[in-house]
Amino acid sequence: MKILALIIILVTSTSCSNYFMRKKCEKKNWFEYGQSVALKGLRLGSDQFYNQCKKAEAEFDEMSADQGFKKGMNTYCSKEAPYDYGKRGKPYNFEFCDHTYIAKMKSEHKKGLRVYCRPSNGFPEGIKGDPYNKLCPMDMEAKFLKGFNKGRIKYLRSEIVKYRHEVRDLERDIKKKEYDLREYKTDLRDLNYHYSDRAGRSSISIENGRIYIGRRNRNRFRTKEEVDSERGRLESEVRSLESRVSSMERKRSVAREKIREFEKEIAILTE
């Protein structure tokens, strides 16, 4: 029996996961996504999101993805691209393109890197937030990194401030939602307590043939159907608030992890 229950839970969980994955896939602009994959020097077949959508049997426009990919590939494999990628400090996948002049492309990429890796370019590149791809020539790297790391540290500190504000705001919102949740649970408990025909203290009173339930809102009910309707409403509110609190707690955990990650990187960069 337990095994059957576990199987049902696993099947339900997988079904829900596939449903949300399919919805996510169907909303994607596949021409733009296919293009973005190619501009990274990757094949669609090796892209994780693309494969997840196929696995989930989502109905998405594979033709648009292929068209976008081809457009991105034309840009990526142009003669100007290796220099441009090098100038931006980006790696370049020379095996992605079917060219006979790969040696020339590698030379152009190196030329671009020497522009990117100038010492004066270090700080402004570091403050952008993009990580260093470890591509600078050995004779330029040390001077470039001196400025880059300073810019990177400034960027990381600004991100830490941003995430601390986010944590503070989330904690305030969580506290408010948890208060609301306690109130709804109390009202629901009192309602269920009344219908169990137990005596005792609660927030329920009967006046002039009407049932009064609730600490915050003195709701009036004439019939059992009205009370059942209120029970359904309270249960729905409780589920909704529990879901929202869980979502905010997850966001808070992510923000806290980002803060720890950035603080650790700053410590490494200042050693």
Kindly state whether residue 228 falls inside one of the protein's structural domains. Answer: yes
Residues in the chain: 271
Evaluate whether residue 91 is within a structural domain: no
- Residue 244 in any domain: the answer is yes
Domain that holds residue 184: 163-269
- Residue 248, domain member (yes or no): yes
Answer yes or no: is 16 within a domain: no
- Number of structural domains found in the chain: 2
Question: Residue 189: what pLDDT?
Answer: 85
Q: Which helix (H) or strand (E) element contains residue 53?
A: helix 48-55
Q: Do 264 and 167 belong to one domain?
A: yes
Q: Is the pLDDT of residue 223 over 60?
A: yes
| pTM for the full predicted model | 0.74
Specify the residue for token string 């909704």: 240
Choose the final residue of a domain: 52, 76, 100: 76
- CA distances, 35 to each of 71, 83, 207 (Å): 6, 20, 69
- pLDDT tens-digit map of 10-34: 444 445 567 788 888 988 999 999 9
Among 58, 74, 68, 56, residue whose Cα is nearest residue 29: 68
User: What average pLDDT does this structure show over 48-70?
Assistant: 92
Please tell me the distance from the alpha carbon of residue 167 to that of residue 256, in angstroms, as a whole number.
7
